[in-house]
Amino acid sequence: MFDLDPAFVATSQALGDLALSHARLQDDARYPWIVLIPRVAAARELEDLSPADLAILTDEILAAGRAVRALGVQVDKLNVGALGNVTPQLHVHVLGRRVGDAAWPGPVWGHSPALPYGPEALTSAVAAARRALGL
């Protein structure tokens, strides 16, 4: 059975379920950022997925990249990462970076506390991401 790690609930907003993954908008207004969490029980590493699920996840990563760009923030480079050092449940970050953003050119992880979206901006970002993902 798939259980979502509570850390995701605390730091992101639900977008909905894709074919394999639960998609969430990371609640940091400085970066257009979607997290994909494959709904596979006990998965911690990409190697825990079947070849078919890996193919689906790849398609979902590409879709999340399009959704990140649809959030209306300039994106110079898409970063994709499956780190899991803090939250070991398998998840993939799809993150839009731009020259001069708060962490540029270094990584965003551990750079500084998140700057949450305001209520209206969050509603708009969630709606844009859902549209782009077909949710």
Question: Does position 85 have pLDDT exceeding 90, yes or no?
Answer: no
First to last CA, the chain: 23
**DSSP 8-state symbol, 123:** H
1-57 pLDDT, tens digit per residue, is 789 999 999 999 999 999 999 999 999 999 999 999 999 999 999 999 999 999 999
pTM value is 0.96
* Token pair of 111 as six digits: 């750079």
Strand pairing class (92-97; 33-38)? antiparallel
What are residue 82's phi and psi, to 5 degrees?
Answer: -120, 80
97-132 pLDDT, tens digit per residue, is 999 999 999 999 889 999 999 999 999 999 999 999
